[in-house]
Amino acid sequence: MHGADFMRTTLSLAFVIIFIIAGSAFAQTPAPAPKEPPPLWDVQLGASFVGTSGNSDTSSVGADFAAHRRGLIWQIESTATAVSVSTDDAKTAERYLGQVQAKRKLTPIIGLTAGEKAERDRFAVIDFRNIVNGGFS
């Protein structure tokens, strides 16, 4: 048997084995119990601090927020992030970012989205940037 023939035979055999295993796994799996709907609200909060000392003193502080609202008609998502970094008591980075996005299904296949995003990062020469978006899905 040549190398190419051997490779084709091996790949064909591997696919047959995968389909047999997958088919038997699906055949033996009982129907899953109905899932509970996700909670109406969920909120996540985060905070971080990293500090080093030695040849130079560096510190980094961060905060993070996310919230989701799952209504029958509207779904709203919002996030906010803040980061500040300093080295030897001189600020070397600072960034603030926040956004809100709303989604609504108009029909089973058509949806509407609208949102706003605000950002400030003076070290990246962004004093303030505001982006408003909207669209259909």
pLDDT digits over 56-99, tens only? 788 899 999 999 998 888 899 999 999 999 988 888 889 999 99
| pTM of the predicted model over 0.95 | no
Question: Distance between CA 117 and CA 133 in Å, rounded?
Answer: 8
User: CA nearest 100: which of 67, 72, 128?
Assistant: 67
pLDDT score, position 13: 56
CB contact at 8 A, 85 and 94: yes
- Residue ranges of domains in the chain: 41-136
Cβ pair 130, 117 in contact under 8 A: yes
Phi and psi (nearest 5°) for 119?
A: -145, 145
Q: Answer with the residue of higher pLDDT: 36 or 8.
A: 36
How far is the C-alpha of 32 from the C-alpha of 13, rounded, in Å? Answer: 31
The answer to whether residue 18 scores a pLDDT higher than 80 is no
Work out whether the CA dihedral 37, 39, 118, 120 comes out positive or negative: negative
Confidence at residue 22, expressed as pLDDT on a 0 to 100 scale: 57
Calpha distance 87→74 (Å, rounded): 44
